[in-house]
Amino acid sequence: MPRELVTVTEEAGPGFDFNQLERSKQSMLEAGKCALIIIDIQEKLTQLMYRKESLLENAQKLIKGIQVLEIPIIVTEQYPKGLGPTIPEIAALFPDFKPLPKVAFSCCGDEGFQRELLAVDRRQILICGIETHVCVYQTTVDLLASGYEVEVVADVVSSRTDENREIALQRMRDEGAGITSVEMALFELMRVAEGPKFKEVSRIVK
């Protein structure tokens, strides 16, 4: 997916052809084209995260809203033997919880994840989880390189330090990912303020 250049340098004089700027534009999220990837929100990792309470609260809201909208969800676990399983507060939200174990930092480095991603057949990816500067970052870059549109849910990603989280968000933005939030993504997916799904999602986020 091409990237958007938004900075005009001083070299751009009066005769500069702005049509030469390479541009890309993230499409608005659509429920029928979107999938959510939840990366490694596991017991031992989560306890070390910056603002872990907020991370967990927002992750629960996002998952519940995405489930109301009937959007596919893929959950991964990094080396669960050493880092533990997905935290119970997340796992309990799924009637048939089957996370994908991995050892590669990027989810795309795991064959099981690749098969699952192909099976859901969605080209817009919402991504959240931990840590922002390691597994989330590397997965995002690989997905972008494979032609996916990627939106990082900024209030559902974290690292052990806020500095690493912020650096990673900027890097992913520079690479071409969109940056969104739980409410922004959910209301973008619904588009209209009507119907039972809107009422249910509104109840979840408030």
Residues with catalytic annotation?
40, 102, 135
> What is the C-alpha to C-alpha distance for residues 105 and 129, in angstroms, rounded to an integer?
12
**At 61, phi and psi to the nearest 5?**
-60, -45
Are residues 43 and 83 in contact, defined by beta-carbon separation less than 8 angstroms? yes
- Residues in a beta bridge with 124: 34, 149
> What is the C-alpha to C-alpha distance for residues 121 and 34, in angstroms, rounded to an integer?
9
Q: Is 117 helix (H, G, I), strand (E, B) or coil?
A: helix
Q: Which two tokens stand for residue 30?
A: 């659509």
Are residues 42 and 77 in contact, defined by beta-carbon separation less than 8 angstroms? yes
Q: Pick left, alpha or beta for residue 147 (phi over 0 → left; psi -120 to 50 → alpha; otherwise beta).
A: left
